Amino acid sequence: MNSKLNLPADRVAYARELAERITAPVQDFIDGHSSVTVERATLRLAGADGASPDGVPVANLVVDRIRAADPAALEDGATVRYVNALLKSGGDVRALNDRIAAGFDVTSLPLGDRAAIEAKADEIVAGTLARIKGNREFREGKLEQWKGRNNSPLLYLIVATGNIYEDVKQAAAAAEQGADVIAVIRTTAQSLLDYVPYGATTEGFGGTYATQENFRIMRAALDEVAEKQRRYIRLTNYASGLCMPEIAAMGAVERLDMMLNDSMYGILFRDINMYRTFVDQMFSRMLNSYAGVIINTGEDNYLTTSDAYEKAYTVLASQLLNERFGFRAGMPSNLLGLGHAFEMDPTLKNGFMYELAEAQMAREIFPDCPLKYMPPTKHMSGDIFKGTEMNTLFNFVSKATNQGIHLLGMLTEAIHTPFMMDRYLAVENARYVMNYVDGFYDDVEFKKDGIVVSRAHQVLRETIEFLEHVEKTGMFDAIEQGLFAEMKRPKDGGKGFEGLVKKGPAYYNPFEKALKRELGIVR
Amino acid sequence: MNSKLNLPADRVAYARELAERITAPVQDFIDGHSSVTVERATLRLAGADGASPDGVPVANLVVDRIRAADPAALEDGATVRYVNALLKSGGDVRALNDRIAAGFDVTSLPLGDRAAIEAKADEIVAGTLARIKGNREFREGKLEQWKGRNNSPLLYLIVATGNIYEDVKQAAAAAEQGADVIAVIRTTAQSLLDYVPYGATTEGFGGTYATQENFRIMRAALDEVAEKQRRYIRLTNYASGLCMPEIAAMGAVERLDMMLNDSMYGILFRDINMYRTFVDQMFSRMLNSYAGVIINTGEDNYLTTSDAYEKAYTVLASQLLNERFGFRAGMPSNLLGLGHAFEMDPTLKNGFMYELAEAQMAREIFPDCPLKYMPPTKHMSGDIFKGTEMNTLFNFVSKATNQGIHLLGMLTEAIHTPFMMDRYLAVENARYVMNYVDGFYDDVEFKKDGIVVSRAHQVLRETIEFLEHVEKTGMFDAIEQGLFAEMKRPKDGGKGFEGLVKKGPAYYNPFEKALKRELGIVR
Amino acid sequence: MKVVRPYGDTMDDGKVQLSFTLPVPDGAKGREAARKLVLSWGFKDCEVVHSAPLAAEFSFYVAYGKTESSIDYDSVVADEASADASMSMDEVNEYIRRNIGRKVVVVGACTGFDAHTVGIDAIMNMKGYNHHFGLERYPEMEAYNLGAQVPNEKLIDYAVKVNADAILVSQVVTQKDTHIHNMTEFIELLEAKGLRDKFICVAGGPRIGNKLAVELGFDVGFGRGAYADDVATFVVKKLAEKN
Amino acid sequence: MKVVRPYGDTMDDGKVQLSFTLPVPDGAKGREAARKLVLSWGFKDCEVVHSAPLAAEFSFYVAYGKTESSIDYDSVVADEASADASMSMDEVNEYIRRNIGRKVVVVGACTGFDAHTVGIDAIMNMKGYNHHFGLERYPEMEAYNLGAQVPNEKLIDYAVKVNADAILVSQVVTQKDTHIHNMTEFIELLEAKGLRDKFICVAGGPRIGNKLAVELGFDVGFGRGAYADDVATFVVKKLAEKN
Ligand code: B12
Ligand code: B12
Ligand SMILES: Cc1ncc(COP(=O)(O)O)c(C=O)c1O
Ligand SMILES: Cc1ncc(COP(=O)(O)O)c(C=O)c1O
């Protein structure tokens, strides 16, 4: 690709270097810590499944009991306790889980032979990783088999009925209409639950619970449509939140293809503790990297919270930070679905040119990333006709700048979660526009000192200034001072702080070790 | 303006030369002929107003009686008879018209002193031309006074209730919503009437009768809104048809600002005789030139009748012919509202790029013309949401190529003549898009050998081939053979042939003479 | 009995989108008037999600309503001379050869002052429309397309002259019910001349339904999306029936 | 009595645009079902102008109908706590100085699990929204914005602590009527604590109407397009009344 914007390569490299420097101390912190959900994710990977009669997941029961028995015990990691119990109880995971669900406390057993535990753990790790790898190979096989049958960019639709069985119908219809990616929107505030609900669910608010069983149901349904359509249909869910690593683990095992997973979303937009979030995102991203799951980052949230024109630089800054945190978790660029959005005020003169500039800039700065482009939402209104027009221009920019993942805009965005017909109209709009404007990307150039080029240069400049400021301040202080998204988040405030765990000298996590090895992470 | 398409200037000049050569023999024919409606137009300019109790206009009564008295008498022109009667009956135009309407036959009076008749005629001509000139100056004054308050391109809306009084309400609403131009669509098939109805009318099919009184009523209404909005609102009506010169005359007198007036529309799309049409368009265009009325030509009709991608060259060919016929009628480029349209199949891959190419090509080949750009109509369907999207892209291309006059597309084009809300949605769409994409024209360049550039070159090539073929065939034969719009029109067939008049050696038409003088037409 | 209601995102939620203009100023009172109006149509629930001024005394509304009314889908009878069962061009020709044994003659036009040729051309001209060839291309048919703006009288005279089996009438403009006038006049003229039974009468146009056409005395009516195959199928079957 | 009907392009023509989905396959029968359904809502006339398949068993329709029903516009009572009569920021401050004589204290939050801060920020934050400054900028007011995801309990405790005059509750998510639950719980909590009369209770959010808010026990509700001026005007006038 030759550049249309002529962005100075050295400044881009400098911006990346700033991101590297900003994230280094954070990574130091991460490396020394775990969290309750990292431990639970590990337990899940080791086989901890099921829930107590009143709905507490086995993974939570184990971790909670370890902590209850000895507040410092998690320092050693939870897995050792679980594997120990497994060995002692005959090696049947299912039976152990049932016992735990029924009240059995793994800490009640004394720790057995360390070598035996580690050997058993290695065996479990190998089994789980093989399954995840199998999923990855299955996906790659299907993509190869049905090559060329997906849209470009991928058309991404959400379902949000709250009921997994209704979701399945809507998702199948959406896929038949042409969607390439189905995201099951998560019920309101699940990100604030410090556990992952269990089983199939039919009651959610503005979305459906992310549960492993729901993942399985939707995956099966989409595989079925895919066979009919001879087009691989990707499944997406939401990781960011208090259970980011666990949901990533579930996704890896159930062959999800994309995962909302931002290194800072929880902190800024859900008031989750910053240390907790940073630790959690690392483990979840290692899992996604290994599983070949594309992550979707949440830069759009900056633009809905603040003014999209003025704060455009926050998007690029966040992309660079997400990229760096991703690299640190062993993630290759082709799994980094960095986000951005078409959220400028529709009454802004030259607005289209600015949107074009920013989308093109993202394309040029992250040439190998499957950028995830979000539709207009904040300025949508009850005027569904104006909404249709805004979506038309959004679809245009997306195709014209060769985005990778295209979230379809809904004409009823400001009114309700999508009706089936809203989704249909969205797909039709995108297909019409993208076929009609096809060729734009290769055909069009921008004047050297014109609006588009100047805007991109300006945003890059502002981003660098911002990152310099953050670097000087230090990441943790910067967040505390409200430099990001105009949200002030105290270091020891926010949800889930109590779930942070300092790794002790005997900290043991066979999955972490294996993933680091597989992903080649050395630090 | 620097070219984005790099069209070869010599080929463009050659195409113009072909148009010059094709139209020369036609002009020879025109110069030797008049028609019943040219005569009636002249009579109207001389004061012939009103209608008989059963609705036959005074102008028709005069011409019909001259012909009835002596089938050859029109060779001398009708005006001499009317002015003669005027002189003989005491010089009161009003009284004379009333008498004619009541049955009086101007041929019943012997011709008086030629010099006196000519002197009286000159006096009348001077009076009428002064009025028309006054209209022109008034318009220019208002445009100057309210400079910068119109949209660019001008937003053009139609009203079509059939009832002039309803039209007035709708037009006022449209102007308040932001329209710069109001066109009162003419009732179905008025173009086939060989007279212009008289008085205010309230019954039309798919449009409202073009009558002088209706012109007056709408003009007054728009002037009123204009004062409120401090924005000059242009009024448009339809001339092309069997009464082209008369409607032009009415428009000149009542200060219309634009007039549908194509040199071949009547022939091809209304089956009006070709000779008659060519003669009529000349006189009507001289009037429009003098009155400063922008003509709108009908190239869009080629694209709705045939496939817009394949027949794109017919648009450029027609534009060049219309331009040449316009020049021959003393028309400056800034009054030549040459037409084109966004009518390609919405399922055509790269369709947007082709539309962009053709609109840009028109802009570059006719840099001084206020090009009139027509919206998608043929491929509109009952899907009003898709219609909204198509209009969005149309609005985009119009702004992106700096068109002059922008006919707003209706989301309900395939369903009904516009509802008030349809028009509102159209204006809102255009305003949003045009403000948002503003800057595109100056900012964007096209790759040298890309889709856009290649397409423009291809259409120019095809146009030249076509014009060469027409030149070789001769215009009249070409029309007969169906080279235009796939319509075969026999030379002596079609409506209104009987109304053609060969000018005799004593042909007298003081208005024609005066207009040619004023417009500097020498041939 | 199959009860069917509008579907938003849940079975039977009854969700419907509406938009309309009211001749009142925009504002809170107008929005409330719009809401009440929607409720007056039997909607149980209505949210006016958008309003805008169109002029001093006119305003525009977008609303979503929730209806409880339903219809029995099983009792619905589709009445469109639809494409579902049409023969292809080759099948039609084969059918003619087998069941009629001579060329079938059709004459068509867009009548009255209606100048829309594209529709009738789509049905009759060689090249056809949307990859469906027109009747002129059918070897077992003789098709005469008189074009647009053809008076009924002239069309009938021509049909008599070429001894047509079927007459095709296209009507596109429907404002002020001109199509109804034109079509009625056409049938009345035929009847006055005692010719109604001589011809299969086919009407077509984007707003022409089969019901309407039959009501006005035609044998059939074709709307938007009709192709030559559909018309030919109808004509030849009807003709075989008549013989 | 002023009779008002929808307006297409002629007074009282009653034209309305509709669109909806039916859980039936697309086709002639579906279109007829759609038409009948529209007629069942009391429309006199209906044309289904578009249909399309959404899935094997679902189809989409666009229709235009013609209604004869009307409402009496004069009898319509607008019930929106609307912007029409609001004072400007300066006027509000002047009003406080003159009629209340001390700073007015307001506490606001987006409650429950609702994470939408933009709406409450638009009303409260310094910078305000759409060129209307927020309450924090009012010199005669003390405004505390607790942000989003605030439990009702915590909001009330805070209001007691700072001795607030008014509590502002924002609710954006309405799926499954969460807003109604949250708002009801808020009022019930206040009442249980015997505090309901101590505070002026203001609700707001894009789908919150004044009617609804009052029904649920609030003093007033503000919908989309509300500004700080409107809220401030209501609060200070109510406060002056209370004293
Ligand atoms: C192209 C067009 C024109 C062109 C026509 C060019 C030409 N050579 O035909 C021009 C520019 C000349 C024109 C003029 C006018 N038009 Co016009 N035009 C259209 C337009 C954009 C497309 C029509 C078309 O070609 N469709 C494509 C064809 C293939 O579809 P179709 O006609 O529906 O035909 C199909 C079926 O209906 C059926 N069918 C049709 N005829 C027949 C006959 C038989 C026997 C059978 C079996 C089937 C059949 O089969 C066809 C193939 O599937 C429509 C809007 C629209 N998008 O529909 C307006 C439209 C039809 N026009 C309209 C009007 C009002 C006019 C004017 C009267 C405006 C005016 N006052 O000046 C004029 C005058 C024309 C006149 N006197 O008739 C209105 C009609 C409103 C109404 N319902 O009454 C429309 C709907 C636009 C609008 N929204 O206002 N028009
Ligand atoms: C931005 C946004 C978000 C952002 C919020 C960022 C932030 N910091 O606030 C993010 C991305 C985080 C988000 C998340 C979600 N969102 Co959201 N979101 C929106 C969006 C696009 C814009 C809202 C907005 O900011 N509007 C601008 C402000 C200024 O308008 P406003 O809120 O109406 O406020 C005005 C008035 O209502 C009033 N007002 C509001 N509050 C108050 C209070 C008082 C006291 C007063 C007097 C007045 C008042 O005054 C304000 C100024 O005029 C809307 C769609 C839309 N276009 O409306 C969806 C929307 C609100 N979200 C929706 C949903 C479902 C969600 C999620 C639940 C999705 C999910 N399952 O993940 C999540 C979870 C959030 C949660 N738990 O609450 C739905 C709600 C559907 C419904 N009616 O229930 C919407 C409508 C989108 C949709 N069509 O699905 N969202
Ligand atoms: C990165 C990211 N994660 C998660 C979510 C949503 O999760 P929740 O609403 O459950 O916090 C979003 C929504 O915008 C997001 O952008
Ligand atoms: C140049 C021109 N003249 C006139 C008309 C319409 O006139 P009528 O429908 O009365 O023939 C058109 C309509 O398309 C046109 O393009």
Task: Give tens-digit pLDDT for A240-271.
Answer: 999 999 999 999 999 999 999 999 999 998 88
**Number of Cβ within a 10 Å radius of residue C98:** 9
Q: What is the pLDDT of residues D168-208, one digit of tens each?
A: 999 999 887 889 999 999 999 999 999 999 999 999 999 99
In a domain, A259, yes or no: no
Scored b (16 or more CB within 10 A) or e, D106-124 reads bbbbbbbbbbbbbbbbbbb
Best CA proximity match to B38, nearest among B493, B516, B501:
B501
| A341: nearest Cα among A353, A355, A351, A357 | A355
CA of residue B239 relative to chain centroid, distance: 5
Beta-carbon count within 10 A of D194 CB: 8
Q: Which residues of D touch B379 (CB under 8 A)?
A: none
In chain B, residues 108-167 whose CB comes closer than 8 Å to chain A: none
Contacts of B386 in chain A (CB under 8 A): 428-429, 432
Same domain? For B75 and B116 the reply is: yes
Q: Specify the pLDDT at position C91.
A: 95
Pairing label, strands A372-374, A405-407: parallel
Minimal CA–CA distance to B344: which of C110, C205, A392, A435? A435
Residues B396 and B461 in one domain: yes
State residue D174's pLDDT score. 87
What is the number of domains present in chain A? 2
Q: Are residues B27 and B52 in the same domain?
A: no
Neighbours of chain D (3+ CB pairs under 8 A): A, B, C
With left for phi above 0 and alpha for psi between -120 and 50, is residue D220 left, alpha or beta? beta
Q: How far is B206 from chain C (nearest CA, A)?
A: 6
Is the pLDDT at D111 greater than 70, yes or no?
yes
A420·D176 Cβ contact <8 A:
no
Token representation of residue C183: 């079509």
Examine the residue annotation and report whether A372 is marked as an active-site residue of this protein: yes
B70 CB neighbour count, 10 Å cutoff: 11
Distance D119 CA to ligand 2 centre (A): 7
Nearest to C108, CA basis, from C78, C152, C63, C58: C152
Q: Which among C169, C135, C128, C177 has a CA at the least distance from the CA of C149?
A: C169
Higher pLDDT, B245 or A187: B245
C-to-D residue pairs, Cβ atoms closer than 8 angstroms: 125
CA of B436 to the centre of ligand 3 (A): 29
**Spatial distance between the Cα atoms of B240 and B296, rounded to a whole number of angstroms:** 10
Q: Of A98, A126, A154, which residue sits at a domain end?
A: A126
State mean pLDDT over A97-111: 96
Question: pLDDT per residue over C8-33, tens digit each?
Answer: 988 999 999 999 999 999 998 999 99
Given a contact cutoff of 8 angstroms between Cβ atoms, the answer to whether B391 and B411 are in contact is: yes
* 8-state DSSP, C83: G
**A282 located within any domain:** no
Task: Give the ipTM of the model, two decimals please.
Answer: 0.93
Q: What confidence tier does C83 reach under pLDDT thresholds 50, 70, 90?
A: low
Has residue D83 got a pLDDT over 70? Answer: no
Contact yes or no for B455/B353 (Cβ under 8 A): yes
B162 touches chain C (CB under 8 A): yes
Residue B359, domain member (yes or no)? yes
Q: Which residues of B touch A441 (CB under 8 A)?
A: none
pLDDT band at A315 (very low <50, low <70, confident <90, very high): very high
Q: Are residues B318 and B377 in the same domain?
A: yes
Closest Cα to residue B47, out of B108, B115, B131, B113? B131
Q: State whether B65 and B22 are in the same domain.
A: no
Residue of D2, D29, D44, D127 marked active site: D127
Domain that holds residue A456: 1-31+298-492
C53 part of contact set with chain A, CB < 8 Å: no
CA distances from B7 to A495, B339, B448, C207, D74 (A): 65, 20, 11, 44, 64
With residue A501 as reference, give the H or E element that holds it.
strand A500-502
Distance from CA of D207 to the nearest CA of C (A): 9
How far away, in angstroms, is D223 Cα from ligand 2 center? 12
Q: Are residues A390 and A480 in the same domain?
A: yes
Task: Assess if residue B205 is contained within a domain.
Answer: no
Q: Whose CA is nearest to atom 8 of ligand 4?
A: B191
What pLDDT shows up at residue A177?
Answer: 92
Q: How many other β-carbons are positioned within 10 Å of the β-carbon of residue A188?
A: 21
Ligand 1 atom having least distance to the Cα of B305? 8
Contacts of B419 in chain D (CB under 8 A): 7-9, 15
Cα A303 to ligand 3 centre (Å)? 14
Q: Using alpha carbons, list the distances in angstroms from residue D155 to A190, B206, C233.
A: 22, 62, 74
Distance from C-alpha of A377 to C-alpha of A172, rounded to nearest angstrom: 24
Residues 64-123 of D with CB under 8 A from B: 64
Question: pLDDT confidence of C82, banded at 50, 70, 90?
Answer: low
> For chain A, what is the mean pLDDT?
96
Alpha carbon distance D23, C3 (integer Å)? 10
Mean pLDDT of A156-179: 93
Among residues B339, B460, B441, the alpha carbon closest in space to that of B4 is found at: B441
User: CATH number, domain at B464?
Assistant: 3.20.20.440
What's the rounded Cα separation, in Å, for the pair A452 and A6?
A: 11
pLDDT, residue C130, reads 82
**Most ligand 2 atoms within 8 A of CB, residue of D111, D113, D116 to mutate:** D116
Which two tokens mark B189?
């098939």
Of C117, C147, C175, nearest to B205 by CB-CB distance is C175
Q: Supply the residues of B annotated as catalytic.
A: 265, 300, 372
* Backbone φ and ψ of A218, nearest 5°: -70, -40
Question: How far is A499 from B84, CA to CA, in rounded Å?
Answer: 108
Quote the pLDDT of residue A504. 97
User: Is the same domain home to B6 and B45?
Assistant: no
What confidence tens digit (pLDDT) does each residue in C152-193 have? 999 999 999 999 999 999 999 988 788 999 999 999 999 999
Distances (CA, A) of B260 to A99, A463, B266, B311: 87, 54, 11, 22
Kindly state whether residues B7 and B122 are assigned to the same domain.
no
Residue nearest to atom 11 of ligand 3 (CA): A191
* Closest CA–CA distance from residue C49 to any residue of chain A (Å): 5
Mean pLDDT in residue range A298-307:
93
pLDDT band at A399 (very low <50, low <70, confident <90, very high): very high
pLDDT of C53 strictly over 90:
yes
Report residue D79's pLDDT band, with 50, 70 and 90 as the boundaries: confident
The pLDDT confidence band at residue D127, using thresholds 50, 70 and 90, is: confident
Residue A419, chain D, CB below 8 Å: the answer is yes
DSSP helix, strand, coil percent of chain C (3-state; round to 5): 40, 25, 35
Query: Is the separation of the CB atoms in B241 and B191 below 8 Å?
Result: yes
Question: How far does residue B410's CA lie from ligand 3's centre (Å)?
Answer: 39
A440 vs B352: CB contact, 8 Å cut-off? yes
Per-residue pLDDT of C107-149, as tens digits, reads: 999 999 888 988 999 999 888 888 889 999 999 999 999 988 9
From first to last of its 523 residues, chain B has per-residue pLDDT tens of: 568 999 999 999 999 999 999 999 999 999 999 999 999 999 999 999 999 999 999 999 999 999 999 999 999 999 999 999 999 999 899 999 999 999 999 999 999 999 999 999 999 999 999 999 999 999 999 999 999 999 999 999 999 889 999 999 999 999 999 999 999 999 878 999 999 999 999 988 888 999 999 999 999 999 999 999 999 999 999 999 999 999 999 999 999 999 999 999 999 988 899 999 999 999 999 999 999 999 999 999 999 988 999 999 999 999 999 999 999 999 999 999 999 999 999 999 999 999 999 999 999 999 999 999 999 999 999 999 999 999 999 999 999 999 999 999 999 999 998 999 999 999 999 999 999 999 999 999 999 999 999 999 999 999 999 999 999 999 999 999 999 988 889 999 999 999 999 999 999 999 999 999 999 998 7
Q: Is residue A163 one of the residues assigned to a domain?
A: no
Does ligand 1 come within 6 angstroms of the Cβ of C233?
no
Question: Within this chain, do residues B357 and B402 fall inside the same structural domain, yes or no?
Answer: yes
Query: How far apart are the C-alpha atoms of A17 and A23, rounded to whole Å?
Result: 10
Touching A: which chains, 3+ CB pairs < 8 A? B, C, D
Do A342 and A456 share a structural domain? Answer: yes
Residues B320 and B437 in one domain: yes
| pLDDT at D82 (0 to 100) | 61
The residue contributing the CA closest to ligand 2 atom 22 is A378
Among C29, C36, C127, C193, the one annotated catalytic: C127
Lining ligand 2 with CB less than 6 A are A 185-186, 188-189, 206-207, 269, 301, 304-305, 377-378, 380, 413-414, 416-417; D 108, 113-120, 122-123, 129, 168-170, 172-175, 202, 204-207, 222-226, 231
A424 and A466 inside one domain:
yes
Q: Could you say which of B93, B126, B159 is where a domain stops?
A: B126
Partners of D67 in the beta sheet?
D43
Residue nearest atom 6 of ligand 3, based on CA coordinates: A238
Tokens read off for A422 = 């809203």
Which of C58, C59, C118, C129 has the most B C-beta neighbours within 10 Å, making it the best mutation to test the interface with B? Answer: C58
Within a domain: B58: yes
In a domain, A164, yes or no: no
CA distance C127 to chain D (A): 26
- CA C173 vs. chain centroid, Å, equals 12
A404 pLDDT exceeds 90?
Answer: yes
Residue A300 tokens read as: 């759009």
B294-296 and B336-337 beta bridge pairing: parallel
Which of B126, B160, B191 finishes a domain?
B126
**What are the Cα distances from residue A39, in Å, to A79, A117, A243, A501?**
7, 17, 11, 9
Residue B161 lies in a domain: no
Question: CA-CA distance, A60 to A108, in Å (whole number)?
Answer: 16
